[in-house]
């Protein structure tokens, strides 16, 4: 399982990477915004994308839309981990095709629960 973690704050990337390692996911890579993440996604096969929303350059919501618009990437599971907490924003992300949404600050248990849920649903074929 290869995972790309996108966040403009390196501390948050480290936190997420360490949590993932604790959950048994050791193959992770990092990008600091959508603009640097998108070429990485196109170049190498990733199995899972975890992205922040609010980033300078290309924002997470635009990255999500770009992924869904690209036939090669459209099926990639995307989990948003963000401080954006407006209902409108969550609805927007849902409509753009996000697979899971976590608001910061979050716990290790929440991350595990949401990742499990995303893959459960994918395995169930929906």
Partner 1 sequence: MPISDENRKLYLNQAHALLDALESGSMDDAGTVLDDLTRLRETGLFQELGKLTRELHDTLRNFQVDARLSELTSSEIPDAKERLNHVITMTEQAANRTLSIVEQTFPRTEQLEKRAGELKAQWDRFRNRDMKVEEFRGLSKEIDEFLAWTADNATHIHHGMTEVMMAQDFQDLTGQIIRRVIKLVQEVEDGLVGLIRITGRTVKKEEEPTGQRDIVAEGPQVPKVGDTTKVVSGQDEVDDLLSSLGF
Q: Binders of partner 1 among 10-49, rule CB under 8 A?
A: 11-12, 14-15, 18-19, 22
**CA nearest 99: which of 48, 54, 38, 60?**
48
d(CA 2, CA 88) in angstroms, rounded, equals 31
Question: Helices 34-43 and 60-69, interaxial angle, to 10°?
Answer: 30
42: preceding bond cis by omega (within 30 degrees): no
Task: Name the minimum Å distance from CB 46 to partner 1.
Answer: 22
d(CA 126, CA 108) in angstroms, rounded, equals 25
Q: Does 116 bind partner 1 (CB under 8 A)?
A: no
Task: Name the minimum Å distance from CB 72 to partner 1.
Answer: 25
With CB under 8 A as the contact rule, the residue among 47, 108, 120, 122 that binds partner 1 is 108
With CB under 8 A as the contact rule, the residue among 69, 91, 97, 120 that binds partner 1 is 91
Backbone angles phi, psi at 40, to 5 degrees: -65, -40
Part of the chain binding partner 1 (CB under 8 A), chosen from 24-32, 37-45, 64-72, 91-99: 91-99
Task: Name the minimum Å distance from CB 80 to partner 1.
Answer: 10
Q: Does 122 bind partner 1 (CB under 8 A)?
A: no
């Amino acid at each position: 399982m290869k995972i790309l973690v996108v966040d403009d704050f390196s501390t948050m990337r480290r936190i997420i990477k360490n949590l993932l390692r604790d959950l048994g996911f050791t193959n992770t890579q990092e990008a600091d915004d959508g603009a640097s993440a998108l070429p990485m996604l196109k170049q190498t096969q990733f199995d899972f994308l975890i992205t922040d929303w609010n980033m300078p350059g290309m924002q997470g919501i635009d990255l999500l839309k770009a992924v869904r618009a690209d036939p090669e990437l459209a099926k990639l599971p995307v989990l948003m981990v963000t401080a954006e907490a407006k209902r409108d924003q969550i609805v927007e992300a849902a409509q753009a095709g996000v697979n899971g949404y976590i608001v910061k600050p979050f716990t290790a248990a929440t991350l595990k629960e949401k990742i499990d849920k995303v893959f459960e649903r994918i395995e169930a074929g929906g």
